[in-house]
Each structure stands twice: as structure tokens, then as C-alpha cells.
């Protein structure tokens, strides 16, 4: 069962270096830690349903540690698509 209050607070954030590396954050506010503990993040307006999706032209990567942390919270996020880059901080 998914926790509705957690889903509403889960956001995709980007590393502050703007290299299209994405993390998940409960708060979604600039500078707050991602679920994996990475702290230098910026808020995005990306929908949670786009997590692990293959971007149209940009070489994006998604944090596998954030995916695991979300699963441990009981939140199901989309699985990585074929040829989607993942990384671990």
C-alpha cells in the first residue's frame, strides 16, 4: 500500500551542477538532501511519473540509491527504461 502523504511530498530534484543527474527528495526544496543523502540539489518541475524515463535529447541519469530509498519508504517509482543511465552517490 502506498502512503498518500509521502507520495505528495516526493519530488525529483537535480544536482546543483546542472549535469542532468536526478535524485528524489521528500521536501523538494533547494539545498535539501535527497533520499540518498546528496545535499546540493535544485528543485525541478518534473513529475514523479517521469523518474527513470529516457529523456528526448539530454543525457540524464537517475540515482539508484534514491530509487531504493523510495522503495524502502513504500513508494513505488517507475523502473528504469532500456538505455536509461543510473548512478549511485
Q: Which tens digit of pLDDT belongs to each residue from 61-79?
A: 899 999 999 989 888 888 7
Which residues, given as ranges, of the chain have pLDDT below 70? 1-8, 18, 27-32, 55-56, 83, 89
Indicate whether this model's pTM tops 0.85.
no
Give the per-residue pLDDT at 4: 47
Nearest 10 degrees: Cα torsion 85, 14, 58, 53? 50
Give the per-residue pLDDT at 18: 64
- For residues 40 and 63, give the distance between their C-alpha atoms in angstroms, rounded to a whole number: 14
Amino acid at each position: 500500500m502506498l502512503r498518500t502523504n509521502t507520495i505528495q511530498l516526493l519530488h525529483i530534484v537535480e544536482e546543483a551542477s546542472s549535469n542532468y543527474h536526478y535524485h528524489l527528495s521528500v521536501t523538494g526544496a533547494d539545498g535539501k538532501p535527497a533520499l540518498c543523502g546528496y545535499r546540493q540539489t535544485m528543485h525541478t518541475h518534473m513529475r514523479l511519473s517521469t523518474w527513470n524515463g529516457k529523456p528526448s535529447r539530454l543525457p540524464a541519469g537517475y540515482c539508484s540509491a534514491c530509487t531504493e530509498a523510495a522503495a524502502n519508504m513504500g513508494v513505488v517509482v517507475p523502473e528504469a527504461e532500456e538505455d536509461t543511465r543510473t548512478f549511485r552517490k
